[in-house]
Amino acid sequence: MTTLRSLLRQGPGPRLAFLPSPNPESIAETLVAFANGEGGTVVLGVDPNGALGDPLMDEEATGALRAALALCCPPMRTEWQQQETQAGSIVLLRVERSSELHILADGRALVRHRRENRPLSPAELQMLVANKSLEEYETAVVTGSAREDLDEDVIDEYLEKRQQRNPRGALLPKTKLLQQIGAITEDGVPTISGMLLFGKEPQLFLPHSRAVFVKFADKQLERSFSPDERDVFDASADRSAEILPPRGAAGAFGYGRREEITGPLARIVERCWRVIWEEMDKKAVVKGLQREDQTEYPPFAVREALVNAVCHRDYRLRGSSIEIHMHADRMEIISPGGLPAYITIDNIVEEHYSRNPRLVNGLYQWGYIEELGLGVDRMIEDMVAAGHPPPLFDARSHRFSVTLQNRKDLDKIIPEWEQHMNARQLKAMQFVQAHGSITNRAYRQLCSHVGAETLRLDLVDLVNKKLLLKIGDKRGTRYILK
């Protein structure tokens, strides 16, 4: 069961909101914003700093929810759960992403933007409507397929991973769960998402769902395609089969390795990563008594770009496959289909919307997506922290590509202890460096606008990361560098 402490530690964001009082208008706005985006959870009765609002009675929460849903057109399906804390009662209100467009009674259409609800512009609204009308593609049946075309071992592996991620979740019979997640119909016929996630040989039915890896053999043989050349190649029936790299002086093709990678999506991710790992340059560095591999590119950045290509590509485009091009100075991961809905290059970090929500949720349950909505941010952070330029994103109507550049600047490498921290924790670490230690009281003075419980969890996180060492007990507690 999700605890209040874990929610406070996560903080408000694209899929989580805190409302200290059950105001129907505020609830309705947040429900609409979540339903139009990736879905999310509203925590009623507490603010983001952990301070509880007025005592929340069961009848009051129910009445507020009914009033809020009356302001939503159309109303969305919600689930809510009351939870008792030491200080009082709160309500967790969950809403799933919807295949319909939801607006408020006053005509506004909202979407979640970071930790706020923002209205959609007319152009964004038009794009969202177009994408909503296509979301049934994932649940369309695969013509000529049967339940026997799904791999029971892959399904069992998924169920095991899902149970590990949600140990308190309901245990449903296998067939019932597959129907619930949209993998099969009530008659047992595989859907598009079911075949992509669990198929024995999905490419027999969906040949374009493969990935193609190419490593170019020599930097002198490489050349970048111009936009006009790329568009010509994109228009071909199967670009991965038709495009050949430039020939070398002796007439040999200019790539050193080419792999066609098939299977269900989880296997494609695993096999692509294995090939990329084999081909990435690595060097061994000894830290203390441990040997550590340093790779050509930060592993998380590569895996995130790869997983995004697999789960966000447009599977309706049957003429193109995912492509991974490894050059001496860069790696390009190219997926068919432009950016979905209202997502653009300018807002790709702040906004989140999945073209294939069932595939995204499947890979999330599998463990390939650590935290929904945060991957692009960390991809950029990891590249910059390693001394590389930020990733380059290129979006066109028919394809989207991520380019990781291998141009490490040693002077720009960020120390490991500064990575993956929030701004408050960075202040705390700088304070410890300057003064030798920090106490809870000193940290509260340093970040006076933040609640005490949030700050306490910040320090616990730094201890868990083995950056700080806790000394003393109760009022005598202080933290020093480990």
Around 176, how many Cα atoms within 13 Å sit in the side-chain half-sphere?
A: 4
CA distance 29 to 20: 15
Q: Enter the CATH code of domain 207-412.
A: 3.30.565.60
pTM value is 0.70
Helix (H) or strand (E) holding 317: none
3-state secondary structure of 429: helix
Where are the strands (E) in 9-155, listed by range? Answer: 16-19, 40-44, 72-73, 78-84, 89-95, 103-104, 110-113, 116-119
Apex 409 CA angle, 405 and 410, nearest 5:
135
Pick the CATH number of 416-481 from 1.10.10.10, 3.30.450.40, 1.10.3720.10, 3.10.129.10: 1.10.10.10
CA distance 405 to 328: 9
Say yes or no: do domains 4-120 and 416-481 share a fold.
no
Query: Which pLDDT tens digits describe the chain residue by residue (482 residues)?
Result: 567 888 888 889 889 999 998 899 999 999 999 999 989 999 999 888 888 877 777 788 889 999 999 999 999 999 988 888 776 788 899 999 988 899 999 999 999 988 899 999 888 888 888 777 666 789 999 999 999 999 999 999 999 999 988 887 778 899 999 999 999 999 999 999 999 999 999 999 999 999 999 998 755 444 444 445 455 444 443 443 334 444 443 444 567 889 999 999 999 999 999 999 999 988 766 555 566 667 899 999 999 999 999 999 999 998 899 999 999 999 999 999 989 888 888 888 878 888 898 999 999 999 888 655 567 888 888 888 888 899 999 998 889 999 999 987 666 555 555 556 777 888 888 888 888 889 988 998 888 878 888 888 889 888 888 888 888 877 778 898 87
Taking CA atoms, 405 is separated from 156, 312, 322, 332, in Å, by 38, 22, 19, 9
**Residue 278 corresponds to which amino acid?**
E
- Residue pair 39/76 in contact (Cβ under 8 Å)? The answer is no
Q: What are the tokens at 278?
A: 């084999």
Q: Who's near 481: CB < 8 A, 6+ residues apart?
A: 432, 433, 467, 468, 469
Residue-range domain boundaries for the chain: 4-120, 138-201, 207-412, 416-481
Report CA dihedral (273, 275, 276, 278) to the nearest 10 degrees.
120
Query: How far is residue 454's CA from residue 9's CA, in Å, rounded to a whole number?
Result: 7
Look at the block and give the residue holding tokens 């027999």.
204
Half-sphere exposure of 96 (CA within 13 A, CB side): 10
- How is domain 4-120 classified at the CATH fold level? 3.30.950
DSSP state at residue 14: T
Residue with tokens 């390693």: 386
Q: Give the Cβ contact number of residue 164 at 10 Å.
A: 10
Structure tokens at 115: 């930790």
Largest CA-CA distance found in the chain, in angstroms, rounded: 80
Using DSSP's 3-state secondary structure scheme, residue 265 falls into: helix
- Residue 426 CB contacts under 8 Å (≥ 6 apart), including other chains: 418
Q: Are 194 and 305 in contact (CB under 8 A)?
A: no
